Amino acid sequence: MTAAGEDLERTFQVGQRALELMKTYGSSASPRSYEVWYTYVTGQKPVINDAIKRIAAQSGHVRDDDVVTLFEEHLAPQRFAQEAEKAGATVIGEIDEVMEMLEMALGSTAKYGESLEAFSNDLAITIDKRRIRELVAALVTATKDVGATNKTLEARLRETRGEIEVLRETLEAVRIESLTDPLTGIANRKHFEEMLVKTLDQAIVERAPLALIVIDIDHFKRFNDTYGHLTGDQVLRLVGMTMREQVKTKATLARFGGEEFGIILPDTTVETARAAAERVRTSVMSRELVKRSTGESLGKVTISVGCAGVRKGDTAVSLLERADQCMFTAKRAGRNRTVCDTDDDFSGAQETPQAEVA
């Protein structure tokens, strides 16, 4: 079988498996549902695999409303791409205008060169003072014309440079915004997924250690239900702020789910990552949450933490799953603790549904 034939056969197999999962978990056969499950089977987006496993583990189903949420959060086109495209089109327009000005200036310069050449030729064959004055006057006029054209071009270039600089800053702001969780100020799901794949690939090539920490806020739903979503947002900001304070190494800090956070630690062993996880956990636990509007004490916030190190044959999906399983082990053991995949009490049992990496 040719390479093209093998690729086609693989695509059919992935599609067939996606359809089987849609039927198994109660998702309707819509294009949106197919895209969600197809992405799940390929394992291209580790976080969507993790989200589907959580939903399926809770209810045994992945309904259409779940599919809509998954699609919008993980796969739907983002407004940032549209903004970047708009800014790019503006830059192209500015460049086109500058090119027109340059062509005009080049034409003017070429004409000026022709005038100089004609002046030189005429000057070589005439000694008439009147004719010389006429030639000098014509040369002065041509020089002024070129000077005026160049001055106009210089002003337009200066103006365009300023406009392009503003657009560059706009594009950079859009880029940063597209990778940042607006509530906590740390990386969002998109950036987390990209960095997890990139950092894992680098660790494999360099045969370097890599650790992943997954954090889940204990009883987060209770905070939302009891005190409202504004208080819940305050809890999320607290965890994000604590992560920034306690993890000073070259790491990627991210909020990749509702109350779920991740820390990617390159060149880091599991034991070193455990120490970082414990700093975050104990620091969060040591802070008392206060309702801003009334000053009322809302008690302590605790987190459950899972930590996994890269192993031979790991993919981004498998590494995230193992860290997630460690976090669930911490939950089952009573919450407010850290469990690593090297611990004796970590079973490594898979969550339902099973991982699908075609």
Contacts made by residues 106-111, CB under 8 angstroms, sequence distance 24+: 108/145, 108/146, 108/149, 108/150, 109/146, 111/142
Core vs surface per residue 101-117: b (16+ CB within 10 A) or e? beeebeebeeebeebee
Burial class (CB in 10 A: 0-12, 13-18, 19+), 238: middle
Question: CA-to-CA distance for 57 and 80, rounded, in angstroms?
Answer: 33
One-letter amino acid for residue 28 of the chain: S
For the beta carbon of residue 65, count every other beta carbon within 10 angstroms: 8
Quick one: CA torsion of 276, 281, 282, 286, rounded to 10 degrees? Answer: 140
Peptide bond before 353: cis, by omega within 30 degrees of 0?
A: yes
Question: CA-to-CA distance for 193 and 301, rounded, in angstroms?
Answer: 27
Catalytic residue of the set 193, 259, 260, 321: 259
Instruction: Clarify whether 259 is annotated catalytic.
Output: yes
Q: Which residues pair with 265 in a beta bridge?
A: 211
DSSP string, 127-154: --HHHHHHHHHHHHHHHHHHHHHHHHHH
Question: CA-to-CA distance for 108 and 105, rounded, in angstroms?
Answer: 5
3-state secondary structure of 308: strand
DSSP-derived secondary structure letter, 305: E
Task: Please report the sign of the dihedral spanned by the C-alpha atoms of residue 275, residue 215, residue 243, residue 189.
Answer: positive
Angle between helix 189-206 and 316-332 (nearest 10): 110
Residues recognised as catalytic: 259
